[in-house]
Structures are given as structure tokens and as C-alpha cells.
Amino acid sequence: MGLSQINDIDLMNEKKSLNKLFECSDSFTSVVFNSGAGSGKTYALIQCLKYIISIHHDDLKNHNQKIGCITYTNVAAEHIKHQLGVSDVVEISTIHERIWSIICSQKSALLGLHIEKLNSEVELLNSQLLSNSEYEKYRALDASAQERFFQLMLENKKKYNMAYNLKATEFKAAMPEEIRLQYAELISNVSKFKGLVDKLFKRKRYLDCLCKIESGEKDYRVVNYDAMYNRDRLDKMRISHDTLLEYGYELIERYPRMRQLIIDKYPYILIDEYQDTADIVVKIMSLIEQYAKQIKHDVFIAYFGDSVQNIYDAGVGERLTRLHPELDFVLKEYNRRSYIEVIDVANRVRNDEVVQKSIYSDCSGGDVKLYYGSGENVSEFIEKCAEKWSVQIENPLHCMFATNQMVAEYSGFPNVYEAFKRAEIYRGIGYKQLNSELLSHDIIHLGRVQAILYRLIKIYTEVREEKQPLRDILPSDKYRNMSFLDLKLLIASLRAIDGNTLDELLGKIFNEYSMSNHQMYKLVMEKIFDVDEDLSYDKVLAIFVTSLYKSWDETLESKEIIHDLLDIKLEELLNWFHYIHRDEKKKICYHTFHSTKGLEYENVAIILGKDFGQDKDLFKYYFMNYEGNEEQDSDKYEKGRNILYVAITRAIKNLRVLYIDDFEEIKDGIEKVFEKAYAFTNEISIDDF
């Protein structure tokens, strides 16, 4: 069996780290619980929650106080809730949910911040119009000519939107004659013309919003946040996830009363996976603790995580103690996840002061090997892993790739990946965003176009599931007033949406949208596509083009520019959707390195090369500099180490690695980590593999 027996001495030593954590909570000494992968950090967090509840439940209840537990993802929040059970003094949520719950009642202060933000955005737009070279011809006009141009475009806004996706010559022909004659210089370059008009329209929306706020119009009195939409709609009073954190920090930094409110409400704050937390969140926590000391109130802030598992560029990682100084440290050396064979390799990958050992006395029996070969060996290598470990749907093989493209190919959505990869915004340094904006399992990180596709495929699948609750499909505050017959007709209309490709799907949607008088159908579609102007097929194409391209061939229509996106088969979009949802039922599941963080699997295969996406020679550099040198690029080395460490430590028992690039120049480094490397050939027997 394995991993089932713990001797009393190891158990007692493990409890020492927990006891120190408990002592810190008793004395309100803020702390970092830092330990390696598989050590049970989440277990320690839950035990800390249980300890605080057991000692202070009644006091917390009597003073209407809570223990705040903050996670990086919704999945982590649900896991902790499940493990902890129901408690009336604990609130477990993502940081965005918690910050919003704290500040949403501060309506006046939020509105003030929103006005500042709108004014700042208007100033930014004005600055761009005054300084950017692409608006030089606009600046050459006198004030009255600029105003006349804007009024003309405003009067012809509908015509402009309808013509947006046409080829340059056809677009020009669709514009009013006065524009073509009096403003010929402006319209000579259509893409710059569109950029100018879009900015002018955007500025007007912001200015109109400011006027509506000032006059106290009904829908402009309160700032809103919706976790499903990671995009600012400032003119519609809706903020994104990043702006939410920005507003939260500003309120807490400006107003001592906000800090006092948090301290009084949450005397205990526990943060899971601290290394992935944004700097601004740590700054908020530091502000809270500093103020608590100043007013002589008690607050306990505990960070649980591991700086070596920081693999996200936005994560605080080793900057934690610079942003939040004077924290105590609790270290834990025991591993509760893996067999010793996996732990030993992980320790060598990590190669720092944290050296783990198993908590279990029966921890032998793991199976770890590294092979070297080429890209041509990948499929055969994966098949051998599957056969070696007799994988089933109930106990699958989890295969990790260092490249997004291979994950997409093996998961059944290669054309989805290729369509986005070819988009201008993901070229060059923008490629780094492709992983999170297309392949993230946390939908708040999806790009704008990807989020639209996600919401579209989500409703496509939900209306076809007989047992899917209506509240998960439709805006809950609207459908409750509908008759049963109207609901039935709405679901029928939504189920009728179908097609072989994305373009066919959109065609069906907007054919119904233009002909239907069903307001709920229109509302559902408006929620899905989330547009700034009137919704239409052409408007959606314009969003796709302008979101994915900064410039484009003016001789082409929008449909030609994004034809590879529109031509994607519905089947591939469904495969992509199921990948995002992690609801694939397969014997072999495929992952990016980043997407497996925090998870554990019995059987793991890793396909490794010298590069990591656009990070050229990242793993090659790590292995070549394994024992360090004076001229070492520490950031590059640590990034390669951290990513490899996270991948290796997903394995519980069985682990195979295939290195598919030139092996000889890094042989020494690889063998220092894995002890021995084997040449992969198709002739290797399953027993020897």
C-alpha cells in the first residue's frame, strides 16, 4: 500500500511546527508558514483555522467577528470549505470576493474613487490625442474643425459601426461625403481613422458617465463588480478584478476607518498560496497590521506557501518580506504527498535549505526515471507510461508539456490555439500572455475574446443539460418574473443555437437576435458578448479584430483577418471548454506546467526541452548552472528551477521525464538531479521502462 504508517517521533516533530503556528495565533504574531510542495500547507492552514475556532469561537461570535481565509482561486476556496466543514465564524473566499465584500458598502467613497478613475482616463485619452504620432493629422485641425468632425461621426455612429469590418475602400465609401471630402487626410489611413474615432467615442462615454453621476441618475449612483467579467466598463459603472484591488487599496490606504473596520471584523486573516498573491494584496495586509499596532489592537496575519513555487510573473514570491516586514517564520520539513523516490529528486531540483523527508515510514516504492530522446518519441513515450502503470479513467496518466501548443494538440483543440497564437497581440513578448489568457483554468485570467467564447460555449452546454438549474444559466434577477411558457420558449431559442463552426454559431445567434422580440434572449446575449455599443454580428467581429490586432491590412474585411478564428469547429471549442473546466474524462489528461499547480497525481509524465515557451534555453540554463557560478543570472535560474520543481512535485508515486533536446551539454546537471539518464527507444520493454 505505502504512505500509511507514521511513527510517533515524526508525528510529534510535525506537530511542533503546527504548535508554533498556534502559538503565533495566540500572541497575534503575524507569520509565514513556509514549506515545500506536498508538505500539507493547506492542511496546516485548516488546522490553524480549527485551532482558532476551538479556542475563540464564542468570543468571535459574541463580537460579530470572523476569521478571514483568502485563497488564490475559487477551486482552492471550495477545497478548504469542504475540508473544514461548516463554520459560522469563518469566511473563505478569493481575495477579490473578500475585498469586494469589505468595500462594497462604502458606496460614497467608491463613487469618489470611480470619478477620479474616469477623470484620469479622460486625461489619458486627451494626452494620447495630443501626443501620439498617429493622431498628428487630427491635431492639425483647428478646434472648430475637430468639433465638427466629432459631431459628424456622432451623427453617423450607426453607419460607422456597420461599416467597421469592411475593406478600407468600402469603409471609406460608407462614410458620409463630408468626411470623405473635408477630412480626406484623416480617413486616408483607415486603421488610424478608426483608432481616432474609437478614442473620441470612448472619451465621450466617460464624460457622459461623469455627467450622469453628477446628476444622480438611477444607474450611476453605485459602482458594481461582477466576478464573471474581467474587463473595466467604467462608463457602465462596472470594474475589473485589477481595478477592484486598486480601489480596495486606495480606500484602505486613505481612510483609517477602513483599516479599523477590517481589524475589528477580521482579527485573524489567513492567506493560502501567498507566493501567487499580487503585491498590492500584501501591501494591504501590511497596512492593516501597521495600523493595528498603532491603535494597539490585535490582528493575526498568516501567509501559507512556498516562494520556490512562485511561477506566476504577478506573484509576490520572495518579495513578501520586503512588502510586509517583521514576519515570523515557521518551517516544516515533512512531506505528506509523495514516495521518497519522488521527494529525493524534488529536493535535488530545489537545491536550497529546505530538504524534505517523508512523514511516512513506509514511503519506499516510488518509480522515477528520466529518459532523453527527441520530439518524435513523445507519443510512444506517453503510450509506454500509460501501459506501464495500467492507467484507467479512474486512475489516469497526467502528462505535462512545456509548450502550450502540444497541450492543445493532444487535448483536441489545435486550431483554437493556432488561431490565437497568430493574433498580433500574442506575438513577441505578448506570447507570455497566451498561456493565461487561453489556457487558464481560472476564468478571471482569460483574455477578452476567450472570455466571450467561454461564456458562449458555457450557455451552449448548459441549455443541453436537462438537470442544469435555471439560476446557473439565466440572470437570476430577471427570469423569476417570466411565465413558464416564456421560459420554455427562451430555452428552446437558446437550444436552437448550433452550427459546425464558430461563424455559423454566431450567424444563428444574431439572426435570432435581430428578428426576436424576446427581451430575455437579447439580455442573455448582451451578457455573453459584453459590448460597449449596440450588439450585432458586425460589432462582435470588430471586438475580435481590435482585441487581437493592433493594426491590420486595410484591404481586408474583418472576416478575412480573423477567418481562422471564425472557421474553428464547434467540436474543438467544446474540447477547449472542457479543458478549461477540467472535466475531461480520459485515461490520459494533458496539462501545461502552470495549470497543475497545487494538484497531485499518482502517475505523471513530463515532456521537457531546453526552452519553456518563449523563454529560450530556460531549462538548459538551469541544468548547466545547477551548482551555480558567480556570473549566473539568478532570475533565469530560479524561474527554471521553480517551474521544474512544481512539475516534479505533482507526482505521488510514478514519474517519468522525457528530455527531447540536445542532451550531452547538460548531461552532468541532469544526472546530478536524476542520478541517471536513460536513452529512450521504442524497443524498451515495459518491464525495463
DSSP track, 131-193: H-GGGHHHHTS-HHHHHHHHHHHHHTHHHHHHHTTS-HHHHHHHS-HHHHHHTHHHHTSHHHH
- Integer Cα distance of 650 and 630 in angstroms: 32
Mark the binding-site residues, compressed into ranges.
Answer: 35-42
The answer to whether the CB of 319 falls within 8 A of the CB of 279 is: yes
How is the chain split among helix, strand and coil, in percent rounded to 5? Answer: 60, 10, 30
For the chain, counts of helices (H) and of strands (E): 34, 16
| Residues in the annotated binding site for ATP | 35-42
Question: CA Rg, the chain, in Å?
Answer: 28
Give the span between the Cα atoms of 573 and 460, in whole angstroms. 11
What is the phi/psi pair of residue 394, to 5°?
A: -75, -20
**Vertex 580: Cα angle to 577 and 581 (nearest 5):** 85
Sheet holding 90-94, edge to edge: 90-94, 67-71, 268-272, 300-305, 31-35, 328-332
The grid cell for 239 is 470594474
| Cβ-proximal residues to 111 (8 Å cutoff; 6+ apart), any chain | 213, 221, 222, 223
Q: DSSP strand E in 365-503: where?
A: 367-372, 397-401
State phi, psi for 153 to the nearest 5 degrees. Answer: -70, -35
Cα–Cα dist 62/354, whole Å: 42
Residue 516 sits at φ, ψ, to 5 deg, of -80, 145
- Sequence-separated (6 or more) residues with CB below 8 Å from residue 499: 505, 507, 508, 570
Report whether 365 contacts 67 (CB < 8 A).
no
What separation in angstroms does the CA of 458 have from each of 88, 183, 468, 521, 547? Answer: 33, 45, 11, 15, 21
CB-neighbour burial class of residue 364 (10 A; exposed 0-12, middle 13-18, buried 19+):
exposed
CA 455 to CA 71: how far, in whole Å? Answer: 24
3-state SS assignment for residue 529: helix
- Residues 384, 494: Cα–Cα separation, whole Å: 44
State how far the Cα of 680 lies from the Cα of 361, in Å rounded to an integer: 33
Residues 262, 286 contacting (CB under 8 angstroms) = no
Q: List b or e across 125-143, with b for residues whose CB sees 16 or more CB atoms inside 10 angstroms.
A: beeebeeeeebebbeebee
Helix (H/G/I), strand (E/B), else coil: 235: helix
What is the rounded CA–CA span in Å between residue 630 and residue 141?
59
Other beta carbons less than 10 A from residue 390's beta carbon? 11
